């Protein structure tokens, strides 16, 4: 079922958590709301669920306005950041809760509830822990119980608030792969909130980048990574080297760099900045056809698939670059050496 | 296992002696004295003092008062703590202050307030007189005064417990389709049950033992408006020490049972929270 958020605004006192946001989540997709803390992503998720009422705007499920529908009847599955499992109930009772509280007419029989709950626990691979209490489970297991509990009421959309936030790195990776496979199996329209760009790019079909209550960019992981729409998206998603300067008359003058910039042909000078990803910087010993700058190698960390180089330019500004192991061996650079840095690709954003 | 170095033995022994001595003089000795005095003339006299009609009436009145005051304050305490811990509303601070009022005011003053309100010369006196309702120097006054004096116990006990629990489990239940009462009985109440029990135990002990406020509104009518503490006072003033202590021993027993119940509840709730802790660290 598709979700549409139309011009939603939410204020807490004088703080605007969500500022005139519109998003569409197509049916069956897994969408990430990505942003730093305080960017309004959790507020937006809670508004979609019906846990908060928007001050303006509306939420539609499959074209149907949800404003008058209480969270109880919206049929959303919600996984809370700290799971919010019922601590005095067993895993089985936690998952069964949504079925047991239904009005008598709509409530499945005891045997049906049992079968359904055990099926769900099998789905999340926890059927062997049905009689345990939440306190006896690990973080990853609790997360999966919370997911099974949310799925028990056969929700039409699944909403997850920082689903991997309080897990350690290894379990986090495992669990997000698992969530992706689960989503591919059940194809439930899902939205999850995260502040971790790697997680968003890895798991989601589509990423919505938020900042200060507004949407900076929406697109596939590749789009937001390769073609960031704003400087915020550029710096928030992945590392980048920044060259500040101006644009004027079809050229950009960014510190030591001067490149063509046909998008701004005015004679009037405007402040601008150029951004390059660490792997988009070519590092050589000789002045490689111009268009670059000299910088001193401060540190090289050869651990991992790529070698990370930390350089500083003539004004002492730090630059992060990445080269392959082969390139690094060919380069044979030592700390303290001067190297020529040339961006292969530069994204230029004009201010204002 | 080697002990960690501590204070010299002499210092520890001295501190311990002071603590034990204090306890013995101010707590154990009086308690022993109560029972010793009560049994001074033998067990038969002890039983006679308790089976005397006026004593029986006092015991019944005390039980009746507690049976009304405790459930009322339980409901009030649950409602107030739920509202204060889970919602933000204007006047929350004022409500909190009012809950503490009975703790702040001397019980005698509390009794006087009811006399001023419901007494013959009081604010509502003419109205009550015209309808032939007797509050002061009658059972309703005693119940009212007791309810007033004991109403902070349950609420005060529950507010911090509910605040510590937060709102997430209730929200989760709501998303899963549970209604207000279902959330209360299936989620909130089970989570605070030890706090509730603890509050009820304290509330009950005070309701049965209250002297000051009840003394003002009671009128000390033997067999009619005397609770156990008032009955003890009357017997004592009549120099009937043995009977006075015999009845007082009932209250002493209540105190012991309360302490025992309190430590059982504390132990159980610690067990409950300990079960949650290790896993929380693993999370």
Residue B282: what pLDDT? 41
Three-state secondary structure call for residue B139: helix
Interchain contact, B171 vs A51, CB within 8 Å: yes
Interchain contact, A80 vs B275, CB within 8 Å: no
* pLDDT tens-digit map of A154-181: 999 999 999 887 788 888 888 888 889 8
> Residue A131: exposed, middle, or buried by beta-carbon count in 10 A (0-12, 13-18, 19+)?
exposed
Which residue(s) pair with A77 in the sheet?
A158
Those residues whose C-beta lies under 8 Å from the C-beta of residue B221, and which sit 6 or more positions away, are B137
Whole-Å CA distances, A78 to A91, A142, B156: 17, 14, 33
The number of C-beta contacts closer than 8 angstroms across A and B is: 76
**Mean pLDDT in chain B?**
85
* pLDDT tens-digit map of A24-71: 999 999 999 999 988 999 999 999 999 999 999 999 998 888 888 888
Which residues from B are below 8 Å from A152, CB to CB? 176
Phi/psi for A59 (5° steps) reads -120, 130
Please calculate the CA angle B84-B85-B87 and round it to the nearest 5 degrees. Answer: 70
| Facing B177 at nearest CB: one of A86, A102, A133 | A102
| Adjacency order of strands within the sheet including A214-219 | A76-79, A157-161, A189-194, A30-34, A206-211, A214-219
| Adjacency order of strands within the sheet including A15-25 | A15-25, A3-12, A56-61, A64-65
Interchain contact, A86 vs B169, CB within 8 Å: yes
Q: Which chain B residue lies closest to A158 (C-alpha atoms)?
A: B175
Which residue(s) pair with A271 in the sheet?
A246
Which residue(s) pair with A31 in the sheet?
A191, A206
Confidence label for A267 from pLDDT (cuts 50, 70 and 90): confident
Looking at the complex, report in whole angstroms how far the Cα of residue B156 sits from the nearest Cα belonging to chain A: 23
What are the residues of chain B with a beta carbon less than 8 Å away from any beta carbon of chain A? 168-169, 171-179, 182, 186-187, 190-191, 275-280, 282-283
> Is residue B220 a contact partner of residue B31, using CB atoms and an 8 Å limit?
no
The interface predicted TM-score (ipTM) is: 0.82
Looking at the complex, report in whole angstroms how far the Cα of residue B198 sits from the nearest Cα belonging to chain A: 18
Looking at the complex, report in whole angstroms how far the Cα of residue A93 sits from the nearest Cα belonging to chain B: 11
> Is residue A77 a contact partner of residue A159, using CB atoms and an 8 Å limit?
yes
Which residues from A are below 8 Å from B88, CB to CB? none
Which residues from A are below 8 Å from B283, CB to CB? 138-139, 142, 166-167
What does the DSSP 8-state code read for residue A105? G
Question: Which of A97, A116, A139, A148 to mutate to probe the B interface, most B CBs <10 Å?
Answer: A97
Which residues from A are below 8 Å from B182, CB to CB? 101
Which residues from A are below 8 Å from B275, CB to CB? 133, 135-136
* pLDDT tens-digit map of A287-324: 877 778 888 888 888 877 888 888 888 888 888 888 88
Residue B277 above 60 pLDDT?
no
> Is residue A161 a contact partner of residue A190, using CB atoms and an 8 Å limit?
no
Please compute the mean of the pLDDT values over residues B251-257 and round it to a whole number.
87
Q: How many CB atoms lie within 10 A of CB B261?
A: 17
Interchain contact, B175 vs A136, CB within 8 Å: no
State the Rg of chain A over Cα.
25
| Facing A84 at nearest CB: one of B168, B280, B283 | B168
């Amino acid at each position: 079922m598709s979700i549409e958020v139309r011009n939603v605004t939410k204020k807490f006192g004088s703080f605007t958590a969500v500022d005139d946001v519109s998003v569409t989540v197509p049916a069956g997709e897994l969408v990430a709301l990505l942003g730093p803390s305080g960017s309004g992503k959790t507020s937006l998720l809670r508004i979609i669920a019906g846990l908060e009422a928007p001050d303006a705007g509306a939420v539609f499920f499959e074209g149907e306005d949800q404003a008058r529908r209480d969270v109880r009847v919206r049929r959303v599955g919600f996984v809370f950041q700290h799971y919010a499992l019922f601590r005095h109930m067993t895993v089985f009772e936690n998952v069964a809760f949504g079925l047991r509280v239904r009005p008598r007419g709509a409530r499945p029989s005891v045997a049906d509830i049992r079968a359904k709950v055990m099926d769900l626990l099998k789905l999340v691979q926890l059927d062997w822990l049905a009689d345990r209490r939440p306190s006896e489970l690990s973080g990853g297991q609790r997360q999966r119980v919370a997911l099974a509990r949310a799925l028990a009421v056969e929700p039409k959309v699944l909403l997850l608030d920082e689903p991997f936030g309080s897990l350690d790195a290894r379990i986090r990776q495992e669990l997000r792969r698992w969530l992706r496979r689960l989503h591919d199996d059940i194809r439930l329209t899902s939205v999850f909130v995260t502040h971790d760009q790697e997680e968003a790019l890895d798991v989601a079909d589509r990423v919505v980048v938020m900042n200060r209550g507004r949407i900076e960019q929406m697109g596939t992981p590749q789009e937001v990574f390769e073609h960031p729409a704003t400087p915020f998206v550029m710096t928030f998603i992945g590392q980048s080297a920044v060259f500040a300067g101006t644009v004027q008359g079809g050229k950009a003058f960014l510190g030591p760099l001067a490149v063509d910039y046909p998008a701004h042909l005015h004679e009037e000078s405007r402040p601008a900045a150029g951004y390059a990803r660490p792997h988009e910087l070519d590092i050589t010993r000789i002045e490689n056809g111009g268009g670059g700058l000299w910088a001193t190698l401060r540190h090289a960390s050869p651990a991992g698939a790529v070698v990370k180089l930390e350089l500083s330019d003539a004004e002492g500004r730090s630059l992060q670059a990445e080269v392959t192991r082969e390139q690094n061996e060919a380069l044979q650079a030592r700390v303290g050496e001067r190297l020529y840095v040339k961006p292969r690709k530069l994204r230029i954003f004009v201010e204002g | 296992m080697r002990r960690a170095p501590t204070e010299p033995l002499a210092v520890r022994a001295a501190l311990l002696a002071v603590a034990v001595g204090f306890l013995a003089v101010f707590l154990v000795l009086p308690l022993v004295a109560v029972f010793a005095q009560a049994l001074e003339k033998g067990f038969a006299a002890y039983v006679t003092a308790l089976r005397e009609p006026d004593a029986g009436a006092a015991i019944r009145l005390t039980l009746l008062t507690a049976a009304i005051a405790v459930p009322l304050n339980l409901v009030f305490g649950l409602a107030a703590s739920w509202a204060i811990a889970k919602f933000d509303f204007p006047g929350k601070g004022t409500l909190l202050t009012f809950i503490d009022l009975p703790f702040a005011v001397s019980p005698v003053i509390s009794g006087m307030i009811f006399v001023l309100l419901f007494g013959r010369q009081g604010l509502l006196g003419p109205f009550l007189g015209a309808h032939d309702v007797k509050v002061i120097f009658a059972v309703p006054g005693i119940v009212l005064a007791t309810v007033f004096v004991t109403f902070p116990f349950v609420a005060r006990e529950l507010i911090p417990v509910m605040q510590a629990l937060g709102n997430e489990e209730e929200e989760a239940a709501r998303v899963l389709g549970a209604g207000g009462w279902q959330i209360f009985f299936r989620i909130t109440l089970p989570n605070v049950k030890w706090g509730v029990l603890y509050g009820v135990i304290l509330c009950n002990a005070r309701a049965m033992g209250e002297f000051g406020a009840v003394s003002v509104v009671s009128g000390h009518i033997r067999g009619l408006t005397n609770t156990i503490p008032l009955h003890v006072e009357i017997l004592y003033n009549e120099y009937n020490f043995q009977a006075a202590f015999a009845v007082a021993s009932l209250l002493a027993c209540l105190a012991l049972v309360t302490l025992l119940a309190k430590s059982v509840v504390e132990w159980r709730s610690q067990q409950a929270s300990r079960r949650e802790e290790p896993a929380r660290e693993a999370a």
